[in-house]
Amino acid sequence: MNSVKELIVEVEKILRKDPSRMYSKEELLNLLASKKKDGELEQLLAELEVKSSLKEGRSDVYVTCRGGTVYYKWTKL
C-alpha cells in the first residue's frame, strides 16, 4: 500500500505528462485504481481541490468544476 505522499507524486506525474489537458476526477480514479482504494483516492483528490482553492496554498494543481464534473490540471510550467 502506498503512502499519501507517494500517491500525490503519482497524481502529479499524470498531470505533468500533458499540462494543457484537464483530467476528470473519474479519469484519475481509473488511472490510479491499482495504487489505492477509491475511497482513499477520493479523499486525496478532495484535499487537492481544497488546497487549490486556498490563496496561501499555492498549489501546482488547478481544480475546477464544470457541469458537475471536477477537473484537475497541472499549472506549474
Short-list 11, 6, 3, CA closest to 62: 11
Per residue in 7-65, pLDDT tens? 888 999 999 999 999 999 999 999 988 876 667 888 888 888 888 887 665 678 889 99
What is the pTM assigned to this prediction?
0.79
Note the CATH architecture for domain 4-74. Answer: Orthogonal Bundle (1.10)
Rounded Cα gap, residues 40 and 27, in angstroms: 15
